[in-house]
Structure 1
Amino acid sequence: MTTSISELSPPKDFGAIKDEIRAEALSLGFSTCGFADAAAAWPNGDWLKAFVEAERHGDMGWMEETLERRSHPTAMWTEAKSAVVLGVNYGPDIDPLEQLARTDNAAISVYAQGDDYHDLVKKRLKVLAGWMHRRFGNDVKVFVDTAPLMEKPLAQRAGLGWQGKHTNLVSRQFGSWLFLGSVLTTLELPPDAPEIDHCGKCSACLDICPTNAFPAPRQLDARRCISYLTIELSGPIPTEFRAALGNRIYGCDDCLAVCPWNKFATLSNEAKLQARAALKQPSLAELARLDDAEFRAFFSKNPIKRIGRDRFVRNVLYAIGNSGDAGLMAVVEPLLRDPAPVVRGAAAWAARRLVGEAAAALRGVEDDPDVLVEWEILPPAGEVSP
């Protein structure tokens, strides 16, 4: 940043500097703040390399392209000395697992039920970083998870929590519900004590996964993860996973929601990001009817907007196919003639799930090979490959 240094005289005591930064962060709406040595050695780069070499990142080619920059915080910025790691509470007001029982409604991941957290967190980070630069004269750079910085191991080093067996950060104060962001700085601040692992023998997050996406504790095969399948994957979702989607149309909170540490979480924090009422459990039928313009308007300033209408409606149709409600054929049938092949294919699958071979009468002229395949397959209900 190039803003001028304030005339304010910064304190000499590093403890006082940390206290000031933490107080400023909390005043800006962050829920928690910790400090880590940005230059210290760590093994996380090797773990990420092994993840990519095993091809568990699926179609997320950007992870391979940015592998070197993700290997260590100083690979992003060689001058970085310290990391100020921030968390924003987004804990839900109700148990997300409850929405899975309402199969006529959509289950949207908690983090995507409000405004896009990337924008909200980044704005706060920029304000904090600007204040730090003016107050202490240091250079700063801000990062949210759109940048190639491994924020979860950095947060553990800063004492915010630990990486649970589901690979996500777990906090004793906020459970599994923290958005993370970081300010790297040239200030050499003493690090906070790192958090230790408190998972013990618990395996609830591994056991609940609908698609068996965890080969082992703290290992994720993204290719099997519902969040990856519904958000990152652009084509048809493999048939072996579709029944396991249930009514999850964007992301999956099962491994987060089942974590026992959530019962200690502070969910009434005033700094918590708020969900939109319309996204807490919307109707599958209403979502399936959205055209492109309506989709963009409905998800304005929301992260779901980034995947586009076609991929989103694909997800909705899989959920409709899992609903068992043949009455939803009223919204499925028009989508059998949608311009997007991925939508037509999902509609064909949903139709066959809902009315079986009777759906064949609705089949029109089709020349897309992926859609033609959909008319020939009907996986048994509940089938998920081991």
Structure 2
Amino acid sequence: MTEVVLDAVNKVYPDGFHAVRDLTLRVPDGELFVLLGPSGCGKSTVLRMVAGLEEITSGSLWLSGRLANHLPPRDRDLAMVFQNGALYPHRNVRGNISFPLEVAGENAADSHERIIELSRALGIEETLNRLPSTLSGGQRQRVAMGRALIRQPGIFLMDEPLSNLDAGLRTELRMEIGALVRSVGVTTLYVTHDQTEALTLADRVAILRRGILQDVGTPQQVYDDPATTFTAAFLSAPPINLVRASVRADQNDGVRLGIGGQELHMPWSDPRATALVSRHGSSVTLGIRADALRPDPDGQISGRVRALEFHGHEWLAHVEAGVALVDTEAFRDDEPQQTGQEGEPGLLRRFLRTTGIVAEEAPAAPVPHGGVHRRSDLVFRLESRSGISVGETIRLSIDAERMLLFGEDGRRVDKVER
């Protein structure tokens, strides 16, 4: 049984940058587990710690029931595929695939059939005698996968293997990777920043932000029942509507949610109403996906259609409804601010100040939890224009069962089902 367990793992670099914070995950035998998040969230650092390419600052890493914090990479029974494939340019495809077997001292004659069988499964059998420089990007990634899988590792690590490919090829290889990994049955950790890759590939997915675990579950769980506003927003195209709402509980009338100058009613028969009682007089964030809104003459929300966007298979309508939309970037993490890396925007401002291009700025006032966008638009989907025109006033109804409730800390108010 090959499983990966990270128990309260931290990674702090010498300059003080806290890349991964108290990460606890369990990847059982044979699971295709995806680490998802924006650039710089710590997902590749996690993969490199599992591989033994980065030291763990604190916490425990267990591989197949064995503490592996200080095991050298060669003793971890794993193989890794990088973003660029990292093939040996002077060796042909056969030589690249067979290299791990040669290092292990296996007889070339004994490995011949395995190479042929694996190359056939990867669709590169006809390229075995070609050099990497003559291959397409997709073929090179298939060779890299073949080199990793040929010695049948217990753990397979993939660090954004499709990010350098065009969209059509990514779709094709995405399906092939999922089918191949599951047919082999090897425990796989797959890193990506692409939501579509994560949702289509994963048995389970973990979402990271600034080194902190935001959510973990099956693709459907984290999409339909996200634990944080960040998860809800990151797994959303078009963007989810995150609306600030005031809470007013009434003993006889349930809970009323004020959004702008309008109100939504939640009766006591709705279990979520009970979770809102303690927030009477404060604010919450409503998460409403674009397909949970629809035009309805009797709808709870009214607004003016500001824009219509044609997307081929659907239209997206933007409605000015006078509501305050919440910006997920303004939510504070529970952890202290990371230090040691200022980030590109901060470095750019500092450079401009030192060169005299811009003046020193006064300290900015604290941003309240949530923040607001410049426009108070709600976005919803239409299969056709349905007679709706820019500039007209319409009413919208909400699929109340799909409405998500988040507190001012960005975490779900109602229970997350896992």
TM-score range, shorter chain: under 0.3
More helix by share: 1
TM-score by length of 2: 0.24
TM-score by length of 1: 0.25
Q: Which has the higher contact order (CA 8 A, sep 6+)?
A: 1
More strand by share: 2
When Rg is computed on C-alpha atoms for both structures, the one with the higher figure is 2
